[in-house]
Amino acid sequence: MVGEVKVALQWAAVVCLLFAVSWVVRSGKDRVRGILMGVAFTFMAGVMWGYGSGWPDGAVFGMLGLVFVCLVGDFLVRAARKGVES
């Protein structure tokens, strides 16, 4: 059972990396948001891989904190763009 969970988390990490590449590639004119979300998904992949591989809790929670920072940055960039457009 534990081995199956580890493999599932590692596959989830691979999917997150695919989302990261997808965000950067299809971001178009809004490169900052694309890069922020790409970095967020990359850190999320690290969280899943680390949790599945038994990394120390501090490293996993640190990466989860960086995901949160990237998401807040994305929100701020999007809010600033909406303010400029209106």
Cα–Cα dist 84/14, whole Å: 36
> What's the pLDDT at 41?
87
- Assess whether pLDDT exceeds 80 at residue 42: yes
- Assess whether pLDDT exceeds 80 at residue 3: no
| Full residue range of the structural domain in which residue 80 is found | 2-85
CA-angle at 40, arms to 37 and 41, nearest 5°: 90
pLDDT average, residue stretch 21-40:
82
Q: How many CB atoms lie within 10 A of CB 37?
A: 22
- Assess whether pLDDT exceeds 60 at residue 77: yes
* Total number of domains in the chain: 1
> What's the pLDDT at 53?
80
pLDDT average, residue stretch 27-56:
82
pTM here? 0.75
